[in-house]
Structure 1
Amino acid sequence: MSESDAGPAIGLIGAGSRGVFHLEQLYEIVSRDYFEVWDKPWPAAKPGFPFGVYHDYASEVPDWATDISHLGASVTAVCDPSTDSQARAVAVCEEHGDDPETFETIDAFYRDGEFDTVIVASPNHTHTEAALPALERDLDTFCEKPLAATLADHDRLIDAADNSDGTFYVGFNLRHSQQYGKLRSLIQSGAIGRLGMLSAHEVRVPFPWGHYYTQDESGGTLLEKDCHDFDLFNWYTESDPVRVVAFGGQHVLDQGTDVNDHATVIVEYASGVKATLELCMYAPYTQPGDRVYAARGTDGLVRSGRDSNSWEVFGWDTHDTYSFANTGGEHGGADIRLWKDVLQTFADGGDPAATAWDAKKAAAVAIGAERSIAEGRIVEIDERYDLH
């Protein structure tokens, strides 16, 4: 633990690429004194401009920035069955003055590790085993999405979170994106009238090797990849999904795997809104902007712009464009904003941006869609987000 760092002592479970990425984002926040909230593109295309200028030379926090100088953290424990993965995570920690203990099993991690906050970034089917002990110990816990590979395990984690004095934060990072947050505000403001339809379209390269290609371990492609999008659908509609139907299968990636590589999903909400997702996971390229979104209302349309950080809004006789700065990193800067909010929530209190119930609500759509493909039928979703 770095002597200069304040804040929680963090234990990491799962030191794969995503776990190490979370460490990098966490340390980036700890290194800053304040965080910009400006949502316009900057005129100079230089890394860190103009934030770096203010960070280096300003004696006071500007009005448009959030003071995060009190947010600190150190990493004191790393758990992963792979010693190579442990070494990569430890190397990142050592670059920032931390010297964490390493563990190969979750049991040893909780028995002998010293930490008061836990990050769970292990494969989906291990999240329950990894997060339950933390919640039972009343520790603040961050869990990567999806929360679990089954709805039954979602229920176990919901019950544990409800009975824990620790804060449970689910990592739906797209809720922290300026771009997707702006779409929500446009819908809520009535810019397109009453919302009636949503759509998301994604064409991308396949998953990397690993647990993603096993249904029992990942929960399925629509859970692993698109719980993000179903969470955004739920967030935008502010309504409960009531049924889902999907078509999909294995078009290209059909050897040694039991997960789908493409799908079309239609979700119906209690409010009457319909949402459609189209996914192609076998392309040898990823479309610009990764996702293409559209929201249709009684008075207009919002759709993804020509670049990955803009929206076009069409009314009866209007056409407006809203653009955003990419504040760095993946997902248009959403990940760094996620970790600012996670550390701020743990330090200052307040509610997380996404809860275990939000996670189950998104998972119900995803797992319901997987069931619809497998069984060739419409799947009903009840008020507790269970399937019928």
Structure 2
Amino acid sequence: MRYGIVGTGMMGGEHIRNIRLLDDVSITAIADPVESSLDWAAQSLGDQQPARFRSAEELAEKGEVDAVIVASPNFTHRAVLEPLFDRGLAILCEKPLATTIADADWIVERAARNPAPFWTGMEYRYMPPVARFIADVHGGRIGALKMLSMREHRFPFLVKVGDWNRFSRNSGGTMVEKCCHFFDLMRLIVGAEAERVYCSGGIDVNHLDERYDGETPDILDNSYTVVDFANGVRAMLDLCMFADGAEHQEEIAAVGDAARLDVLVPPGDLVFSPRVGFGAPKQVVREHVAVDDMAMEAGSHHGATFYQHAAFARAVRGEGPVEVTAEDGRRAVLIGAAAEISAREKRAVEMRELDTTG
């Protein structure tokens, strides 16, 4: 199976490292308008030197590939995808699917007509501890799910080529760029669609002293977001991007009518806490979920990128389903866009305001 990579910056490099762990694959083409990014990717591939192109159009026309990974900046996705769709290639497109709802709608429509699989890159689903957490919640371990809370306390946005991620017009805003992962997980775990979003967020610590052509970055660096779902479950995301020293970067807690279940990343532990009644001894059970060492070393998403690529490869070969569709990507963008509006306008946003497709 022959892969092409469009966008050979930081995330493109992570995809390259993980694809190389798969059996019976090769990376035969890379594309990026920045020569130094192409050089870096070529160096990381060693003896396996792919054809080099400066655009997705050139790669689609001249590259000999079966599947393409789109890891270019968020705002380029629609333009990058168009020639790949025209060639009918299998595609894994990094999150967020797009920076605008209109572009996300267009991608969903084109993906539906594409003869080969289209996959939205939602790595967080594939962290082994998170995957186990989801399976346990869906399996009824906590009873009927009532509340879902997520926390990401982490480092600020990293520096990207051209500093494109410093501005909402390029990234979709923090709630789209970063938090689409969590909104996707909410939908997956809750098993329903969002009806209402309220986000309180600010720009309080990060990037305040940065200037790009005299312009100050406008991306949120902290927020609380509450999402009401159609089945009555409510979910909450607590985001802080100036909490570099936090012990756990990601924490997710699901509370049902019978128990609570937490997942902590790192270290990759599940913590199960059944209801015991007031005053009774607690019966907390802690379990570690192991991750393949090579998968951990090949990426920065707790091994998730490797497991996602294994599933994507199965789908391309006709050995498994597409597990994260373009529509999944669009729904995550919708919630993120609603959160951005809510934070700016200081009001709850009804999803029907944004979703014209029903």
Per the alignment, residue 81 of structure 1 pairs with 33
**TM-score normalized by structure 1?**
0.83
Does 1:28 find its partner at 2:21?
A: yes
Query: 3-state DSSP class of the match of 1:29?
Result: coil
Instruction: Report the Cα offset of residue 270 of structure 1.
Output: 0.2
C-alpha distance after superposition, 1:155-182 (max 9, x if no partner): 1110111011010011111211221111
Does 1:287 find its partner at 2:246?
A: yes
CA distance in 2, matches of 1:262, 1:76: 40
Per the alignment, residue 323 of structure 1 pairs with 288
* Conserved 8 A contact 1:119-1:143: yes
* Conserved 8 A contact 1:154-1:360: yes
CA distance in 1, matches of 2:265, 2:348: 35
Residues 293 and 279 of structure 1, relative CA distance in 2, 3 Å threshold: same
Q: Which amino acid aligns with 1:24?
A: R
| Residue number among 120, 123, 129 corresponding to 2:79 in the alignment | 129
CA distance in 2, matches of 1:335, 1:306: 15
| Residue number among 321, 334, 356 corresponding to 1:364 in the alignment | 334
Per the alignment, residue 61 of structure 1 pairs with none
Does 1:183 find its partner at 2:133?
A: yes
* Conserved 8 A contact 1:380-1:387: no
Instruction: Report the Cα offset of residue 310 of structure 1.
Output: 1.0
Per the alignment, residue 103 of structure 1 pairs with 53
C-alpha distance after superposition, 1:46-86 (max 9, x if no partner): xxxxxxxxxxxxxxxxxxxxxxxxxx222222111111100
Instruction: Kindly tell me the number of residue pairs found equivalent between the two proteins.
Output: 337
Query: 3-state DSSP class of the match of 2:330?
Result: helix
* Conserved 8 A contact 1:379-1:387: no
C-alpha distance after superposition, 1:317-352 (max 9, x if no partner): 332223211323232221111111111221234322
Residues 306 and 180 of structure 1, relative CA distance in 2, 3 Å threshold: closer
Per the alignment, residue 350 of structure 1 pairs with 320
Does 1:227 find its partner at 2:180?
A: yes
C-alpha distance after superposition, 1:118-152 (max 9, x if no partner): 11000001111112221222111111111111111
Aligned positions of 1:261-340 closer than 5 A:
261-283=221-243, 285-304=244-263, 308-317=267-276, 318-328=283-293, 329=296, 330-340=300-310
Residues 261 and 142 of structure 1, relative CA distance in 2, 3 Å threshold: same
CA distance in 2, matches of 1:157, 1:306: 32
Per the alignment, residue 213 of structure 2 pairs with none
CA distance in 2, matches of 1:289, 1:145: 22
* Conserved 8 A contact 1:364-1:386: no
CA distance in 1, matches of 2:264, 2:53: 46
Instruction: Report the Cα offset of residue 306 of structure 1.
Output: 9.2
Does 1:192 find its partner at 2:142?
A: yes
Q: Which amino acid aligns with 2:43?
A: A
Query: 3-state DSSP class of the match of 1:348?
Result: coil
Aligned positions of 1:22-171 closer than 5 A:
22-30=15-23, 72-93=24-45, 95=46, 97-171=47-121
Runs of 4+ in 1 over 4 A off after TM superposition: none
* Conserved 8 A contact 1:12-1:79: yes
C-alpha distance after superposition, 1:72-108 (max 9, x if no partner): 2222221111111001111222x2x422121223333
* Conserved 8 A contact 1:368-1:387: no
Q: Which of 302-311 and 270-279 deviates more?
A: 302-311
**TM-score normalized by structure 2?**
0.89
Q: Which of 159-168 and 300-309 deviates more?
A: 300-309
C-alpha distance after superposition, 1:356-377 (max 9, x if no partner): 1111111111110001011111
CA distance in 1, matches of 2:264, 2:311: 27
C-alpha distance after superposition, 1:206-229 (max 9, x if no partner): 011222211011101111111111
- % of aligned pairs identical? 30
Residues 160 and 105 of structure 1, relative CA distance in 2, 3 Å threshold: same
C-alpha distance after superposition, 1:224-276 (max 9, x if no partner): 11111111111000001001010011101234201111111000000011101
TM-align CA RMSD: 1.9
Q: Which amino acid aligns with 2:285?
A: D
* Conserved 8 A contact 1:212-1:221: no
Q: Which amino acid aligns with 2:32?
A: D
Q: Which amino acid aligns with 2:9?
A: G
